[in-house]
Structure 1
Amino acid sequence: MSTAMPFDAGTSLMSDTTAAVRTAGLTLRERYLPQARGVSLSEVVEEIHANDDAVLDVLREPLLRARPGSRWADDELAGGALPPGEWWVVDPAEGNINHVHGMADWAVTATLVRDNQPVLTVVHLPLTGDTYTAVAGGGARLDGLPLKVSAKSDLSAALTGTGQARPGEDHRVFRRIGESVTAMLAGGLVVRVSVPATLQLIHVAAGRMDAFWQFSDVRSGLVAGALLVAEAGGTVTDLAGKPWHTGSRDFLAAAPGIHPAALTVLSSIA
């Protein structure tokens, strides 16, 4: 992706977005229990939908009000390009599966996408209180402090990560994930395989991880992290090395010194 065209967020859009996401985070935190909820698949799915509904009830209207004329991308598991204009791509419980199993890796995200490029994002982690923000052309921050990607240039020293984007991917995607993990284990140092994507991408933006890839076009799991990594000085492309956008079919975000070698390893996974 490219941030060559800075986005003018005005004086209040970032503060309004941050306030809305943090308020939504309180709702999600109130629903959190440090143990698994639901035993059967139907019970787990019911808990996931209940989380989404509760958070969306407090998130949708403030965001649409904060950016008059913007529209709402309803399906958080959808992929592909959006129609022209400005769209809110939101995950009310990024890492929802972790939340309903009593784990700590979950967040609330809201990203404004203009013409298929993310231009403003807020990622809030309610359990820690951390808030990651980025504006196209304006840098990436954690609680107001600038973020910078890793300075590594040797893939053999790299901590990388991947994961599935949604349940029920087809077997070709599962095979590509497995083959890519094997290839990166041979080329890199350590590979994390986990969900959700955003919780790995904030580590890439902060320089704690060196690369993240995914064989998916699920927008809500990628737009926030893509902007954070790019604005922290990282490189974000598809697995053909072309600039990433919401219509891309796969994804790689990495520190600039790691990206070429990671792309070489991953682009061979057909």
Structure 2
Amino acid sequence: MRNKQKFKLWMTVTGIVLTGMFLGEGDVWAAPEKQTERNGAYADVNTCLNIREGAGTQHPVLAQLPKNGYCEVERREGDWCYITSDEISGYVFCDYLETGFTKEEYLTVTNQKEMKYAYSLQQKENVAAVASIGGKRQEIVDFALQFVGNPYVWGGTSLTNGADCSGFVQSIYKQFGISLPRVAADQANAGTRISVEEALPGDLIFYAENGSVYHVVMYIGNGKVVHASSSASGIKVSDLYRAHAVSGARFFIS
């Protein structure tokens, strides 16, 4: 038996809203479900997909979308798609995208636990601007930079599958036989304490707010750091955040 009730119907037809139509007693019809936008896509490549300034290989590469990296397709221009991935926008060759997903479907299809976004080429190229580093420092910085673009995972220590800020530096140093405490606050009290100004490439720098350490980064020189930033941006190269940089720590002799 159908339920009878009084109701008002709000309805949108090609952008025109009809409001306050009193229909009296009658059958209640459910409004059509809103169509879910499936403009999400991911890079179906072995390594990474170049994001260019224009639609064509003659245009310079400004960023890269890693394997299984997520983006949203804004429009298509011939064989090229204009995409946005986190805060980066540009053109990619459409054939290298798997399209038609929501964010939730993307995580399921790619078996990802966290969103994986594009990263600027500058993040990988900053190593070229680093001043001459000797011995173990050079090795540590070079080793750390190869994981730029990999995911951030809270509580993680994997350089490939995901690490948080302290897990990232702990795992880097472990490869060189240096043992660090697990969390950033404890790492800040280990090793030889140095000022931020004394930091050399390979040293750690700690960020604090209201007296509490909340983040650790590895200094790579020229005011740049490499770190596991957030679930949105993963492992990346950034400018040193001097406003919150309070101290450094050194765990080896140059």
Q: Which of the five TM-score ranges fits, normalised by the shorter chain?
A: under 0.3
More relative contact order, 1 or 2 (CA 8 Å, 6+ apart)? 1
The structure in which a higher percent of residues are helix is 1
What's the TM-score once normalised by structure 2's chain length?
A: 0.27
Q: Normalising by structure 1, what TM-score?
A: 0.26
**Greater strand fraction, Structure 1 or Structure 2:** 2
